[in-house]
Chain A
Amino acid sequence: MLHVISAELRKLRRPTLFLGTMAAVVFFSGLFSALLFLLIDSPQGNSDRGRVVGREVLGLATGGVQGFASTGGFLGIIALCVFAAQTAQEYTYGTLRNLLIRQPGRLKILIGKLVAMKIFALVMIILAAIIGIVTSVVLAPGAKVNTDLWFTSSGIEAILTSFVNVTISVVGFGIIGMVLGLLLRSPISAISFGVLWLLIVENLLIAVKSSLQNWLPGAQLNAIASGGTLDLAYKNALVVGGIYVGVGAIVASILFVRRDVAN
């Protein structure tokens, strides 16, 4: 298993992928946190979908990680793309046969790949957390936000909770990407389908029938990253999101283990 993880990490550390992804994470997590403070008095809102997050909320113990938590969905989309591309490219490049000749244990390959990509996602999340919190600390005084509670024991607990929630959410998005990669066997198809579904189709469906947000996968994973929302309870999101990810992973694993590698 360690051999598979080590081999997969060699692919993930290539500069264009690693540095490119991390640069995007730095930029967007900085931007998401900065907008919370820079647009604090904007009537159009300062958070996602025009939500207003006021000084009182930002001044709470959880205020320091508001920006980071709202980056969760974006980090999830990145994870979905990376996991999908890294999985599906083995089919398009024909490299899967090389992997299986060197490591015939197909589940080992799959789990090793997943662990390596989780490590990649973890680096991404840690970086996003650091940038989000640092940006918040730097911009809070200018926005007249009180930061006294941010680094108390409750504040630290909020940081850790938020980190765990974002990690669960991002890994969930990543596994969905991996499942799509295994099912569609093409990076372009897997990424297009995943991103279109999560960013457009789900939002349209929820706009037509709001109760659907209790059942759609992207909405669950986004809610987990935020620690639950007013409309979607954390536990509900965890259960429903977990079922989507679990069932998808089982179906894809069975297919991967049984399917002939004929390309």
Chain B
Amino acid sequence: MIKTAISVRDLSKKYDNRLAVSHINFEVPLGTVCGFVGPNGSGKTTTMRMLLGLITPTTGQGHILGEPIEHPEKYLSRVGAMIEGPAFYPALSGHENLMVLAKLGGFPIERVQILLEKVGLGDRGKSKYKTYSLGMKQRLGIAAALLPEPKLLMLDEPTNGLDPEGIQEVRALLRDLANEGTTVFVSSHLLSELEIISDYIVMLRKGEIVFAGPIGELMAQQQPTIIAKSLEHSDLQKIVEIAEAAGHHAVIRNDSVHVLAEMDWAPVLNKAAFDAGITLAQLAPQLPNLEETFFEMTGDK
């Protein structure tokens, strides 16, 4: 019995002399939500295209739902995907566009209206696609990806153009699908969104894997920060000196001191500051979020 929805070994794609994706390896377990993150041009979409049989890898192997990516016909009927934004025929209605894809894939046409309702386009299904807002187009793209009742859903930036309410709806939808057993492989530049919904993270930079594994494991690798604020701005430098004297790296950022130290060192700092005559206005331990972790690991900020 297969345990991974996606498995990639030494996968590369070279365009002329440029390696868009360089010998990457990762696995995505079945039934998880996996965030696929990386800066623009890092190779996320190229990887997704290779996994969907749209482009041929230069080297390496991949398996989707246990089937080799050289034979997309063996697995694509169980995969839903939206790559590089929604793409539909402008002169057809949303309903007609989904009907084209339902007919093509041999899916029950009754699903079209059900899915339009599910993504909140039930009352706009008969309108032409060219009249849709970006958010509506995005919703239609998600509906199209759900047509085959997928075991694996691959979405490239699905929340682009959605308002906060729409983003929340998509987040809930993806979580529900995962709870029902669908594996979700989703790329997004909204790392805070991915942090909320992902169990797994695959991090890409310049075509290479920076991290691939459970999100908990990633965050555990990161050192927590203690944020200290003093009543007097002039005391911030003294706090830095106290932290560094104890062997912790500390910097002043936005009227506060960020000290790289375990949470249990916070009371020690509090006492040391008090002894030095400094009144702290705030002392808060803080774990780095995915965005900070991402920037730290990719060195992009």
List chain A positions with a Cβ less than 8 A from chain B: 3-4, 6-7, 10-11, 14, 16-17, 89, 93-95, 97-105, 260-262
Contact partners of B73 in chain A: CB under 8 A: 104-105
Of A16, A94, A102, which is in contact with the most chain B CB atoms at under 10 Å from its CB? A102
Q: Is there contact, CB below 8 Å, between B91 and A16?
A: yes
Q: How long is the Cα–Cα vector from A155 to B279 in the complex, in angstroms?
A: 109
Across the interface, name the chain A residue whose C-beta is closest to B99: A10
Q: Is there contact, CB below 8 Å, between A101 and B96?
A: no
Asked if B115 is an interface residue, CB under 8 A from chain A, the answer is: no
Contact partners of B83 in chain A: CB under 8 A: 97, 101
Can you name 7 A-B pairs with beta carbons within 8 Å?
A10-B96, A93-B90, A95-B87, A95-B89, A98-B87, A101-B76, A102-B148
CB distance from B297 to the nearest CB of A (A): 28
- Which 4 pairs from chain A and chain B are nearest by CB? A94-B87, A260-B55, A7-B104, A102-B105
Q: Is there contact, CB below 8 Å, between A101 and B79?
A: yes
Q: How long is the Cα–Cα vector from A64 to B181 in the complex, in angstroms?
A: 67
Contact partners of A262 in chain B: CB under 8 A: 49, 54-55
Contact partners of A3 in chain B: CB under 8 A: 103-106
Q: Is there contact, CB below 8 Å, between B144 and A98?
A: yes
Q: How long is the Cα–Cα vector from A95 to B53 in the complex, in angstroms?
A: 15
- Residue interface bits B70-100, CB-to-A below 8 A is 1, else 0: 0011001001010111011111100010011
Q: Is there contact, CB below 8 Å, between A10 and B100?
A: yes
A-B pairs under 8 A by CB, number: 78
Contact partners of A89 in chain B: CB under 8 A: 89
Contact partners of A104 in chain B: CB under 8 A: 53, 72-73, 76
Q: Is there contact, CB below 8 Å, between A261 and B100?
A: no
* A interface secondary structure, majority: helix
Contact partners of A260 in chain B: CB under 8 A: 49, 54-56
Contact partners of B96 in chain A: CB under 8 A: 10, 14
CB distance from A219 to the nearest CB of B (A): 34
Q: Is there contact, CB below 8 Å, between B84 and A94?
A: yes
Across the interface, name the chain A residue whose C-beta is closest to B15: A262
Q: How long is the Cα–Cα vector from A85 to B90 in the complex, in angstroms?
A: 14
Contact partners of B105 in chain A: CB under 8 A: 3, 102-103
Across the interface, name the chain A residue whose C-beta is closest to B84: A94
Residue in contact with B88 in the complex, picked from A17, A95, A102, A105, CB distance below 8 Å: A95
Across the interface, name the chain A residue whose C-beta is closest to B73: A104
CB distance from B119 to the nearest CB of A (A): 16
* B interface secondary structure, majority: loop
Q: How long is the Cα–Cα vector from A17 to B56 in the complex, in angstroms?
A: 35
Q: How long is the Cα–Cα vector from A7 to B81 in the complex, in angstroms?
A: 19
Contact partners of B103 in chain A: CB under 8 A: 3, 6-7, 10
Contact partners of B101 in chain A: CB under 8 A: 7, 98, 102
Residue in contact with B54 in the complex, picked from A14, A93, A261, CB distance below 8 Å: A261
Q: How long is the Cα–Cα vector from A205 to B264 in the complex, in angstroms?
A: 88
- Residue interface bits B32-64, CB-to-A below 8 A is 1, else 0: 000000000000000001001111100000000
Contact partners of B56 in chain A: CB under 8 A: 260
Q: Is there contact, CB below 8 Å, between B100 and A100?
A: no
Contact partners of B89 in chain A: CB under 8 A: 11, 89, 93, 95
Contact partners of A98 in chain B: CB under 8 A: 87-88, 101, 144
CB distance from A115 to the nearest CB of B (A): 14
Q: How long is the Cα–Cα vector from A98 to B143 in the complex, in angstroms?
A: 12
Residue in contact with A101 in the complex, picked from B81, B85, B106, CB distance below 8 Å: B81
Knowing that A3-B105, A93-B87, A261-B55 are A-B contacts, what are 9 other residue pairs whose CB atoms are under 8 Å apart, sorted by A's residue number? A6-B104, A10-B99, A93-B89, A97-B49, A97-B87, A98-B87, A98-B88, A101-B76, A260-B55
Contact partners of A16 in chain B: CB under 8 A: 91
Q: How long is the Cα–Cα vector from A260 to B56 in the complex, in angstroms?
A: 7
CB distance from B87 to the nearest CB of A (A): 3
CB distance from A210 to the nearest CB of B (A): 43
Q: How long is the Cα–Cα vector from A95 to B101 in the complex, in angstroms?
A: 10
Contact partners of B92 in chain A: CB under 8 A: 10-11, 14
Q: How long is the Cα–Cα vector from A89 to B54 in the complex, in angstroms?
A: 17
Contact partners of A7 in chain B: CB under 8 A: 100-101, 103-104
Across the interface, name the chain B residue whose C-beta is closest to A112: B104
CB distance from B124 to the nearest CB of A (A): 18
Q: Is there contact, CB below 8 Å, between A97 and B54?
A: yes
Known contacts being A7-B104, A102-B76, is A261 close to B49, with CB within 8 Å?
Answer: yes
Contact partners of B100 in chain A: CB under 8 A: 7, 10-11
Known contacts being A3-B106, A11-B100, is A101 close to B52, with CB within 8 Å?
Answer: yes
Of A4, A10, A99, A261, which is in contact with the most chain B CB atoms at under 10 Å from its CB? A10
Q: How long is the Cα–Cα vector from A11 to B79 in the complex, in angstroms?
A: 24
Contact partners of A95 in chain B: CB under 8 A: 87-89
Across the interface, name the chain A residue whose C-beta is closest to B81: A101
